[in-house]
Structure 1
Amino acid sequence: MKRLLVSIHDVAPSHFARLERIVPFLEETNGIGTRYSMLVVPDFWRKGHLRDDPAFCAWLRARAAAGVEMILHGYYHRDETPHTSWGQSLKASALTAREGEFLGLSRAEALARMQQGKAELEDILGQAVKGFIAPAWLYSAGTKDALKDANMMFAEDHWRVWLPGQDRVVAKGPVISYASRSKSRIASSLLWSRLATTLLRPLDTVRLAVHPHDFDIPSLITETHRALGVLQQNRQLSYYYELAAD
């Protein structure tokens, strides 16, 4: 069986207005229903914790109760670690706009944030949170080790989905995602998406990720709609946790 995993990243109160547009776009316009995942950040860029916005928490609980899969997506999402190595500094600045929160954390630091975020999100939702996906898909070695201690069933980076407790990879291949920070990034995103819907066809599992700021760019909205239409033709919409049963 071929699968399609669709996710919304950076789910937080500061993006509420955009999220209220993205959800009907996925659920109704593209016919996905609630078979997709939300990557939730407890205190996105320290702009306001989930628990301090009752309306957003109620909305999040309603989506979870309807069947949307909820995944912990860091804690602050902002990379506040001073990087000493050239490689990590390059990743932090070139691959993302200082959003790789877990790129430089030790095992103890990563575990503490995972445990705190998981407990807070479960309290808000009233249900278990099974997985963790690091902001910008960037992990330190310590973060990867901490996934087991935090009892995370699954994790994802840009190239794979794996089960930390079993050290088992359950999906391989690059994520289809979009960048909206500049005209050149938008153009490259559009090209990659059009190529990927063909090039990734042989894969058992294809992943497509939507970010709130994608919906500030009409061409990215149009391309996301096209890509979802193509990918749904021969794939079953799935949740991340279902990969553990394969």
Structure 2
Amino acid sequence: MKDIFNINRFGSLLKKELSERLPIMLKIAVILSISLIGFWLTYIIFKTDPQVSSHGRTVFLLLVTYFTAVMAPFNLYKGFNHPKKGIDYISLPASVQEKFLSMLIISLIAMPLIVLTSVLMTDTAIAMINPSVFKGFIFSDNSFINSSTTSFADMIILPLFCMLGNLLFRGNKVVKTFLSIAGTYIVFILIVAFLFLYAFKDQMTEIQGLQLQIKLSVENLTELYRNEVFEGYPAIKITIAVLAVLYNIGFPVGALAGAYYRMKTIQY
């Protein structure tokens, strides 16, 4: 393709891919909605509590939506790098940039959005039919959302790594991808642990001597950087900043760039 990106050609590609994958997306959305209906019916028969809290329903909705985003590349594009099936996709009249953006939109936006809408509509319908069990709108209790410390990076890292794994591996994609993700996280956690438990052992002992409670975890690196406790320890503060940038920017951007590079250089 001479043009790197053509909006009309991209629109045609996106429309084509959506129409081809819509049955799969709707099938998954229906299955998850039916599972909610099944839970409702089971609860009516065996219920021990008077109501299903909106908090619990919100957690279920967000979890299934996130799980859908994580598994979407495997469900929708599992044949992309297949020695035979992949040739049909790679020969489509569109540039790599257009194909990659289309895959990104369908996997990480369209698919989760369809599932979110389907499950939300099902929950609302049940709440209207049986308000004594499903009381109120699903987001009427937003304490879970308000109390959640999940960052944007936490939400997109896993789906992007799964997108990369789907393009990178040809067989046993899910297993290999999750093993690779686990290995990456373990190495990163070991680096963080080494730095704070050994490299900065004396400084951390001094901080603990001040009887200050410091929660050290990968997810709260940004909060740690803003903590005034480390103002007197520039080396620790710089290290936390580097780790936070690596986790919040390096991981998602690296996964995205890796997926794009793999699509661009894939060989059949």
TM range (shorter): under 0.3
Give the number of the structure whose residues are more often helix, by fraction: 2
Higher CA-based Rg: 2
Give the number of the structure whose residues are more often strand, by fraction: 1
TM-score with structure 2 length normalisation? 0.25
TM-score with structure 1 length normalisation? 0.26
